[in-house]
Amino acid sequence: MQKVIRIGTRDSELALWQANKVQRMLNELEYKTEIVPIKSTGDIVLNKPIYQLGITGVFTRNLDIALLNNEIDIAVHSMKDVPTVLPEGIIQAAVLKRANYSDILVLKDTEEFFALKEATIATGSLRRKAMWLNRFPTHTVVELRGNVNTRLQKLDDNDWNGAVFAAAGLERIGKRPAGAVNLSWMISAPAQGAIMVASLAEDDFIKDACEQLNHHETEVCVSIEREFLHRLEGGCTAPIGAIAYVDEKTQEINFKGVLLSKDGKKKIEVAKNASLDKHRYLAQDCADYIINRGGKQLILDDIDIEEETSANVYSTKSLSVSQAKLFHNNIASDSSDFIKIRSNRIAPKVVKDEIENVIITSKNGVEALLDNFTKDELNFKNIFCVGRRTKKLIQQKLGPVNHTEKNAEKLADYLSKEMKGDQVTYFCSDLHLETLPKVLSENKIIVNEVEAYKTMYSPMKIDNKVDGVLFYSPSTIESYLQKNSADKVAFCIGESTAKEAKKHFKKVEVAQLPTVESVIELVNSHYVQ
C-alpha cells in the first residue's frame, strides 16, 4: 500500500491555495496525498508587528514542529517567510517555479495622493515601510497585519490611501484589484513569489517525490537571494530586499540588493551579474559590497544593545546579524573571517577516467570541484566524506555517499579496514591535517592528493578584553595565532579543531554539533548560568 503524503499548511486562503497546488502536482505524479491545516503563530498574534514577536520563522515554526513530531510529511511555505537556517533535521525538498515577485500598491481611491506631502500607506513589512519612506519621506506608514483577506478588509475599513501587497499573493487567489499599481522601484523580499516544500532529511520516499517538483532556475535564484539575506541579517528584523533572475538572452544571473535603515533615511544598494555557471560568489560579493559601505553598522544602529556584559567573545568566521543575535544578551560578540577560500584550477586529466575511491572532507572541496567541472564530468564510483553537511551537499550536487564520519581521523580508520582497492583520490586544501593521508599510507593505501582549493590566512589583532574565541577549523586557529595570544577560552566546532586548539589553549570546549549555531549555544552555556 502506497504511503499517503500528509501536506502541512497554514489555514489561510493563500496558504491553502499553495498547498493545493503542491497536492495537484503530486497527484499528477500518482502519489496519494491529504492536506493537514495548522495554525501559525503569525496568524494567531495580530496585535504586534512581525519583527517584534521575537520568534524565528513566525509563519513556519508550527509547521516545523508538526514535521519533527511526524504529524505531517511535508510543509508548504511562502518561501519569503522561511528562515535562512532551517531547523536541524528539516531540509528544503523542493522549490516550485516562481510566480510574480513584485510588490503592488492597492489603492483606496486614486493615485493623486502621490503628489501630496501627506498620505497614509499600510504595510506589515519592515522592508516595504523603509523603502516607501525612503521614496516618500513625508508620508505616514501604518501597521497592517493578518492574512490577505483580512488586510484587504482593513484597507476598506480605514482612512488610508493604500496598502502594499505581494503581487503573487493576490494573483494566486484571484483578488488583485484592477487598479493596483506595480511598484517597480521597490526591490522585493528575498524569495518573494516562490513556494518552498520542506521535509525531514531522513525521509527518502518524500525527498524523491518532492525532487520531481523542483524548478532548478528558481532554486538557483532564490538561493542567491537568501544567501545575501543570511550574510547581512538572516531574519525579518532588518529592511533587506533582494532579487535575482536569469536573463534568457545572455544566460546571466542579474542581481539587485538593498539594505535600508528602519526609518528609510539611509539606503545602500548593489547590482551585479554573473554567468549561470559562475555564480558561486555572487551573493557573498554583493553582501560584502553592502557591508563594506557601512551596512553592518547601519543594521547595528537599529538594534538595541545591552550595555552590561558578562563576557566578550570573537568569532573567527563572519556571523550574520541573525547568528550574532543568538548570543545571550549579556554576551558581546564580534566576528571576521580569519581564513578565505578560493578554488584552484583542476586539470581535466584528473577526472578524465572513472575514479574508484574519492575523499572529500569539506563543503569547500565539493564547491571547488563544481567550479571546475559539471556533475556529468565527475565519474566517481565511491565517495567518502567528513561531516553531515558535506554529505548533504555531495548528495545534492554529485551523487550518493558511500560512507561518512564526523572527522578525518575516524574516516581514515574506517577506510583502512573497509575500503576496496589500494588507491584513493583526496580533494583537499593546500592546508590540511596530515592525519588522514598518514594513516592510509601506513595501511598500504596510496593517497593521490589533489589541491582543489586554497586556504588563505587573513588574521587580525583582536581586543585584549575578549574572553573567548570561536574556531571552526584548525586553519582558523593557525591564522588567529599569527597575531593573537592563546590566553582565551577556545570554543571549537568539532574534534579536529579541538585537537589543534589543545596544543595552544589551556581551556578548550567542543560543540555538540558541527554547526555555527551549536558553537554559539556552547558559548551561552559556558558564560550564562
For residues 15 and 59, state if they share a domain: yes
236 burial type by CB count under 10 A (0-12 exposed, 13-18 middle, 19+ buried):
buried
For residues 241 and 116, state if they share a domain: no
pLDDT above 70 coverage of the chain, percent: 93
Reported as a pLDDT band with limits 50, 70 and 90, residue 56 is very low
Q: Tell me if residue 81 is catalytic.
A: yes
pLDDT attached to residue 111: 80
**Residue 276 clears pLDDT 90, i.e. is over it:** no
Domain C-terminal end among 457, 476, 501? 457
Reported as a pLDDT band with limits 50, 70 and 90, residue 41 is very low
Domain membership of residue 257 (yes or no) is yes
* Spatial separation of the C-alpha atoms in residues 76 and 67, rounded to whole Å: 11
For residues 346 and 451, state if they share a domain: yes
pLDDT attached to residue 219: 95
- DSSP class of residue 385? E
Please, are residues 378 and 465 in contact by the beta-carbon 8 Å criterion?
no
For residues 200 and 78, state if they share a domain: yes
Q: Which of 64, 73, 81, 371 is catalytic?
A: 81
pLDDT attached to residue 303: 64
The CATH number assigned to the domain holding 269 equals: 3.30.160.40
Domain membership of residue 263 (yes or no) is yes
Please, are residues 23 and 35 in contact by the beta-carbon 8 Å criterion?
yes
**Residue 146 clears pLDDT 90, i.e. is over it:** no
Contacts of 366 (CB under 8 A, 6+ apart): 360, 390, 393, 394, 397, 398
| Choice among 274-278, 315-319, 334-338, 468-472 with the minimum mean pLDDT | 274-278
**Residue 66 clears pLDDT 90, i.e. is over it:** no
Q: Do the strands 446-457 and 423-429 form a parallel or antiparallel pair, or are they unpaired? A: parallel
**What's the rounded mean pLDDT across residues 82-97?**
88
Reported as a pLDDT band with limits 50, 70 and 90, residue 309 is low
412 burial type by CB count under 10 A (0-12 exposed, 13-18 middle, 19+ buried):
buried
Domain membership of residue 49 (yes or no) is yes
Top-confidence range, 234-248, 296-310, 438-452 = 438-452
Q: What is the mean pLDDT of the chain?
A: 87
Angle between helices 363-372 and 388-397 (to 10 degrees): 20
- DSSP class of residue 223? H
Distance of CA 160 to the CA centre of its chain: 36
pLDDT digits (tens, 9 = 90+) for 487-508: 999 999 988 899 999 999 999 9
pLDDT attached to residue 145: 80
**What's the rounded mean pLDDT across residues 37-64?**
52
Domain membership of residue 187 (yes or no) is no
For residues 369 and 431, state if they share a domain: yes
For residues 296 and 317, state if they share a domain: no
For residues 295 and 314, state if they share a domain: no
The CATH number assigned to the domain holding 122 equals: 3.40.190.10
Reported as a pLDDT band with limits 50, 70 and 90, residue 52 is very low
**What's the rounded mean pLDDT across residues 435-452?**
90
Cell of 293: 559601505
- DSSP class of residue 354? -
pLDDT digits (tens, 9 = 90+) for 217-249: 999 999 999 999 988 864 446 899 999 999 988
pLDDT attached to residue 40: 53
DSSP output for 141-198? EEE--S-HHHHHHHHHHS--SEEEEEHHHHHHTT---TTPEE-TTSPPPTTTT-EEEE
Domain count for the chain:
5
Reported as a pLDDT band with limits 50, 70 and 90, residue 406 is confident
For residues 356 and 444, state if they share a domain: yes
Residue 17 lies in domain: 1-96+192-214
pLDDT digits (tens, 9 = 90+) for 108-132: 887 888 878 899 999 989 999 999 9
The length of the chain in residues reads 529
Nearest to 412 by CA among 384, 389, 391: 384
For residues 67 and 197, state if they share a domain: yes
The CATH number assigned to the domain holding 395 equals: 3.40.50.10090
* Spatial separation of the C-alpha atoms in residues 115 and 492, rounded to whole Å: 57
**Residue 62 clears pLDDT 70, i.e. is over it:** yes
pLDDT attached to residue 221: 96
Reported as a pLDDT band with limits 50, 70 and 90, residue 529 is low
For residues 3 and 35, state if they share a domain: yes
**What's the rounded mean pLDDT across residues 347-360?**
91
Domain membership of residue 26 (yes or no) is yes
Please, are residues 407 and 494 in contact by the beta-carbon 8 Å criterion?
yes
For residues 267 and 203, state if they share a domain: no
For residues 321 and 433, state if they share a domain: no
Domain C-terminal end among 430, 457, 484? 457
Please, are residues 335 and 519 in contact by the beta-carbon 8 Å criterion?
no
**What's the rounded mean pLDDT across residues 141-160?**
89
Nearest to 83 by CA among 103, 55, 102: 55
Nearest to 282 by CA among 223, 194, 214, 218: 223
- Angle CA 48–49–52, to nearest 5: 85
**Residue 61 clears pLDDT 80, i.e. is over it:** no
